[in-house]
Amino acid sequence: MYKRKTGGFTLIELLVVIAIIAILMAILMPALQRVKQQARTISCRANLKQWNLFFSMYTEDNNSRFQAGIGDGHTYHWMNALRPYYKNDHLIRCCPTAMTPLYDENGNLGAQFNVFSAWGRFWGQGYSEEGDWGSYGINGWVEDPPPSEATVYEGFETVNNWRTPNVKGAGCVPLFMDALRFNVFPRHTDTPPGTQDEAWASQEHMKRICIDRHDAFINMAFLDWSVKKVGLKELWTLKWHRAYPTAGAWTLGGGVQSTDWPEWMKRFKDY
């Protein structure tokens, strides 16, 4: 009687199957990476919505005023001033694409500095025992330093600070965003970074947030408690402080040309 052959795959059949799997993986991996990145971007915006709630609660509890942003050590910076609201949750201080701090728990430089690294850790007065780190930063122009402080961090004048969320055009005033430092004081004269990790090249703080963290955008919370994605060239058009000109030299209204931007930014949308 005839007995049916029950052997496994031949070598050629196995090679064909492996080749098909490899082709499918090559097709699917970029799509999976895009989905993963989109999920992180959405989670980042969810974090910022939560921070809007924290800032709203803080200002409601403090006569509609933001924290001072200046004072003993870092006691009056947002990381410490808002700690009772976010319960010292280190994760929510980080964009999901930038979770690893530059320094480890022993103070040793661990991560490589780039747009996907978190600032810190920082220790000392006003910081938590385990150190503070994060990958978001506040618009320093919204803070409420005391009247005796004519200038704050690195000599930035305070006369045009917003100090409160109750202002006209709040939807165009940045509050909190993806950043390479915990605070930023952008000015319309700031030039774009020659490379996207040039945050420490000068006091031009726009470089601290002009980073390609979300496919030519960063995520940002505004004084009207909204959260939006903002194009990197769009950063120069926002109302950072009370006297900030929104049609400065680095905007279409101010005459900037696509060719004026650094090479890595030329392909991005103009504003």
- Rg of the chain over Cα atoms, rounded to whole angstroms, equals 23
**pLDDT of 33:** 66
Pair type for strands 183-184 and 227-231: unpaired
Q: Is residue 5 part of a domain?
A: no
Q: Of 110, 101, 107, 63, which is closest to residue 79 (Cα–Cα)? A: 101
Instruction: Give the pair of three-digit tokens for residue 34.
Output: 């895009």
d(CA 190, CA 246): 13
d(CA 87, CA 99): 18
Q: How many residues does the chain have?
A: 271
d(CA 146, CA 167): 19
Cβ contacts of 116 within 8 Å, gap of 6 or more: 97, 98, 213
Q: Is residue 4 part of a domain?
A: no
**pLDDT of 109:** 85
Helix-, strand-, coil-residue percentages of the chain, each rounded to 5: 30, 15, 55
Q: Is residue 66 part of a domain?
A: yes
Q: Is residue 3 part of a domain?
A: no
Q: With bands split at pLDDT 50, 70 and 90, how would you rate the model's confidence at 256? A: very high
Q: Is residue 1 part of a domain?
A: no
How many domains does one find in the chain? 1
Global confidence as pTM: 0.86
Residue span of the structural domain in which 204 resides: 11-265
Instruction: Give the pair of three-digit tokens for residue 51.
Output: 């921070």
Q: pLDDT tens for residues 204-228?
A: 999 999 999 999 999 999 999 999 9
Q: Is residue 271 part of a domain?
A: no
Instruction: Give the pair of three-digit tokens for residue 46.
Output: 């969810």
178 and 136 Cβ atoms separated by less than 8 Å: yes
Q: Of 93, 115, 221, 230, which is closest to residue 165 (Cα–Cα)? A: 221
DSSP character at residue 6: -
Q: pLDDT tens for residues 76-124?
A: 999 999 999 999 999 999 999 999 999 988 888 877 888 999 999 999 9
d(CA 229, CA 45): 8
